[in-house]
Amino acid sequence: MTDLANPPTSTSAEVSGVTAGPTGQSRSGMTADALRAAVSDHLLYSIARPPAVLTPEHYYRALSLAVRDRMQKRWMATTQDWLDRSAKVTCYLSAEFLMGPQLGNNLLNLGIEDEARTALAGLGQDLDVILDCEGEPGLGNGGLGRLAACYLDSLATLERPSIGYGIRYEFGIFSQEIVDGWQVEKTDNWLVRGNPWEIDKPDASYLVSWGGHTEAYEDVTGRLRVRWVPQRVFQGVSYDTPVQGYGVNTCNTLTLWSARAVESFALEAFNTGDFYRAVDEEVVSETVSKVLYPNDEPEAGKRLRLLQQYFFVTCSLQDVLNIHTQRAGLPLSALPDKWAIQLNDTHPSIAVAELMRLLIDDHQLPWEQAWNLTVRTFGYTNHTLLPEALETWPLAMFSEALPRHLELIYEINDRFLEEVRARFPGDEERVARMSLIGEDGGRSVRMAHLATVGSHAVNGVAALHSELLKSSVLKDFYEMWPQRFGNVTNGVTPRRFLALSNPGLRGLLDQTIGTGWLTDLERLHGLESFVDDPAFRQRWRDVKRVNKSRLAEFIHSATGIECSPAWMFDVQVKRIHEYKRQHLMALHIITLYHRLKTSPGLTVPPRVFLFGGKAAPGYFVAKRIIKLITAVGETINADPDVNRCLKVVFLPNFNVKNAHLVYPAADLSEQISTAGKEASGTGNMKFMINGAVTIGTLDGANVEIRREAGAENFFLFGLTEGEVERVKADGYRPLNHVESDAELAAVLELIARGEFTGGDPEVLRPIVDNLIHHDPFLALADYRSYVDCQEQVSRAWLDSDAWSRMSILNTARSGMFSSDRAIAEYCDDIWGVGPMPVAF
């Protein structure tokens, strides 16, 4: 919650009026001297350790607090400003924010990296060592959560007033260890060392109800109303983190909610002498924000997950209404003029019913007005076409948990289906398909339908994805409301994914085209005039080489494997999933192994095959795919016949922190999902910006990456989305490919006979069986095309000047993949939120 939810205690003049004097300087001075004094101050007053026992970790915390101090006035001025000016604010509702380490990014955005380095050097410390002390706040699974974080960075940098709302999970995404080649999950107790970036607001909280039943009653005016009598009430407490824009004063807020017991309810039990029930109540309440759920697992029956979603949505909406009516004193009718609320996938889509409940039950608005305000306020971003990933909740469970919301959803549905019948008379099949209530299998609430019906704008996250939404999963809705549908291709922030993580390239860019690219990534086009300059190409290669050495060192420390930076780094890092087809990349590696073993004189251009990514703990096949990769790696890395030109690495625990090392070091970016399955991808963009050349299918944003880079600078293979659908419709038989392709048969036979598992055929049998008999994502159908395309890659690599050309042109043409471009589109086309420079 922003401070606006609290009674105002100062005017903006007072807020920005804190000035010099020793205290003011040590809290806000931006020079190296001021920073050094501030760190010393915090070591004494906040860390409270005598000099003799100080560790780099202590310096990390002291510096972080000093940096946070420097954002504080900008932060308060930003919040105060949008209230004073009654600006429209974007709320980005997301169950995940994968923020990554904060210190380096905040130094960058504040423009005080050099000052901080000097300040620490003056204290005998190395900034790089201090930066490395920061852990990963792993409050997301992967792409979706990282997208939310990139969007916050761009919103602040583009000076758009905004709040990110999410959940402060006590345990983030598990950390991954590899033991005997298998993934082992360890709990991620990220808060145990404290979090210097957040500020808790224990005085500011909202009540959250759950379960129980509803009652009809007549209010004092004689109107029939509904009251929700919950079974349980707890509260959400806010923890706020500043989100500093780059090179601007704007500092926005990320509000994460943490669940707590409500004292008064616990007291009730105390009073009746039931001490243990009171304590139990507290434990149960606090469970709500305990742990982030890994995705790609069967969701059915996960009551706690639904509770988490409702929990953060109701706290966020109550906060918005509180600021709007109490702090700003505005009428509810102005809600859509002052707030744009974006639903990041369906996880927050209960917000549609919750806002209706707040407006109708708490604020006594009539239905039609409440509905009009709701639809005008919400926008919905869809993130998946996989039918198994579309969220639904079993009706019985939903009704038990949120009885009032189910009533409201029924009413929304009745009115909506009436509209459908009026538009498409007699088409009852369409009515059943579009209903918010699914009747297939057990009855369920379809969250994507609720989000679509309750939003004025619906978008996919890449051009192809948005088209497929309109022609497949949301086709009926598109036919009903074509004007609601649009596309906003994802983007990534060039601050974190270029400036911060690729200092070598940053320096080369600054010298070559100036520094403007940091906030106007299209300026990278300026590189195109240098592609034919041999000296520039050499500097380009030197930068890549340094990045590869840096990653090789990290790989060695994490896995013990030695990799030469002279080799091609061929990289696939992302969550492990069958549709992303890490196993297809493994089949290529085994193909090369097979060739080298059967033709002793053969050489292939040397490559490091690097994988990273977590598998959902309950996703059986994904975990076997990790085992396949590590088993192939152990065999190859130890075999002198092949390890002279092949190395296979599985880098454990891929996260934002080590992503900083991976993307800048890649030569080849593997984006090989089955066409039509990856909504967009953002990893593909991070690779491109950092000069990797892509081998990929026509899927997600790869389509746009290839269009921008030029077909000659992209390695394309595989079936198109239309071909995939046709193959499936014709009755796909993977065995046909095995029977007609001797090399593929030999590769599968190697796995099946236990070549990589010490002769044990059982360990990897499920993968082989799955491929031969099911192959739901057509890995075998694309195998030959992929392996042939990799031949072209190998040939291209041998001409290092030609390769450098491709690499430079990929970076030069990556401008549209900045999250600044994406956020500008959201602001213009969906949110209607303009820039609001903050006076400071």
Ligand X SMILES: *Cc1c(COP(=O)(O)O)cnc(C)c1O
Which positions are catalytic? 383, 574-575, 580, 682, 686
Query: For the chain, what is the largest distance between any 2 Cα atoms, rounded to a whole number of angstroms?
Result: 93
Side-chain half-sphere CA neighbours of 69 within 13 A: 23
**Which of the stretches 45-53, 141-149, 519-527, 727-735 binds ligand X when contact is defined by CB under 6 A?**
141-149
Both tokens assigned to 464: 């192809």
Q: Which positions from 248 through 307 interact with ligand X, judged by CB under 6 A?
A: none
- Rounded Cα–Cα distance for residues 62 and 475 (Å): 54
Nearest distance from C-beta of residue 136 to ligand X, angstroms: 9
Nearest residue to 652 (alpha-carbon basis) of 182, 44, 270, 18: 182
Q: Does 686 bind ligand X (CB under 6 A)?
A: yes
Nearest distance from C-beta of residue 463 to ligand X, angstroms: 16
Nearest distance from C-beta of residue 659 to ligand X, angstroms: 4
Nearest distance from C-beta of residue 611 to ligand X, angstroms: 12
Question: Reading across the β-sheet that carries 378-381, which strands appear in turn?
Answer: 199-210, 232-244, 251-261, 162-167, 89-93, 339-344, 378-381, 457-460, 485-487
Question: Reading across the β-sheet that carries 437-438, which strands appear in turn?
Answer: 392-394, 444-446, 437-438
Q: Does 142 bind ligand X (CB under 6 A)?
A: yes
Nearest distance from C-beta of residue 544 to ligand X, angstroms: 19
Rg of the Cα atoms in the chain: 28
CA angle (392, 394, 397) in 5-degree steps:
130
Q: Which is nearer to ligand X, 682 or 818 (CB)?
A: 682
Nearest residue to 146 (alpha-carbon basis) of 90, 92, 100: 100
Residue appearing with tokens 């860019």: 509
Nearest distance from C-beta of residue 141 to ligand X, angstroms: 8
- Beta pairing partners, 184: 177
Helices 702-709 & 463-471, crossing angle to 10 degrees? Answer: 140
Q: Does 143 bind ligand X (CB under 6 A)?
A: yes
**Which of the stretches 31-39, 240-248, 649-657, 786-794 binds ligand X when contact is defined by CB under 6 A?**
649-657
- Rounded Cα–Cα distance for residues 39 and 116 (Å): 10
Nearest distance from C-beta of residue 788 to ligand X, angstroms: 23
Q: Does 135 bind ligand X (CB under 6 A)?
A: no
- Site map 147..186 versus ligand X, x via CB under 6 A: ----------------------------------------
Q: Which positions from 663 through 682 interact with ligand X, judged by CB under 6 A?
A: 681-682
Residue of 506, 539, 544, 574 that binds ligand X (CB under 6 A): 574
Beta strands in 32-172 (DSSP E): 89-93, 162-167
| Alpha-carbon dihedral angle through residues 731, 737, 740, 742, given to the nearest 10 degrees | -160
Residue of 104, 137, 196, 683 that binds ligand X (CB under 6 A): 683
Nearest distance from C-beta of residue 489 to ligand X, angstroms: 13
- Beta pairing partners, 200: 239
Side-chain half-sphere CA neighbours of 263 within 13 A: 4
Nearest residue to 315 (alpha-carbon basis) of 79, 82, 81, 91: 91
Nearest distance from C-beta of residue 47 to ligand X, angstroms: 30
Nearest distance from C-beta of residue 681 to ligand X, angstroms: 4
Nearest distance from C-beta of residue 413 to ligand X, angstroms: 34
Residue of 146, 484, 623, 805 that binds ligand X (CB under 6 A): 146
Q: Which is nearer to ligand X, 37 or 709 (CB)?
A: 709
Kindly list the distances between the CA atom of residue 10 and the CA atoms of 16, 89, 325, 598, 751, in Å, as whole numbers in the listed order: 10, 21, 19, 78, 69
Chain CA centroid to CA 365, Å: 36
Q: What residue is closest to ligand X based on CB?
A: 683
**Which of the stretches 52-60, 139-147, 180-188, 278-286 binds ligand X when contact is defined by CB under 6 A?**
139-147
Q: Which is nearer to ligand X, 146 or 506 (CB)?
A: 146
Interface size with ligand X, residues (CB under 6 A): 12
Q: Which is nearer to ligand X, 367 or 554 (CB)?
A: 554
DSSP secondary structure string for all residues of 247-278: TSS-EEEEEEEEEEE-HHHHHHHHHTT-HHHH
Burial class (CB in 10 A: 0-12, 13-18, 19+), 73: buried
DSSP secondary structure string for all residues of 213-259: EEEEEE-TTS-EEEEEE-SEEEEEEEEEEEEEPTTSS-EEEEEEEEE
Nearest residue to 763 (alpha-carbon basis) of 634, 651, 576, 648: 634
Q: Which is nearer to ligand X, 172 or 403 (CB)?
A: 172
Q: Does 702 bind ligand X (CB under 6 A)?
A: no
Phi-psi region of 775 (alpha: psi -120 to 50; beta: other; left: phi over 0): left
Strands 693-696 and 668-671: parallel
Residues in contact with ligand X by CB under 6 A are 142-143, 146, 574, 654-656, 659, 681-683, 686
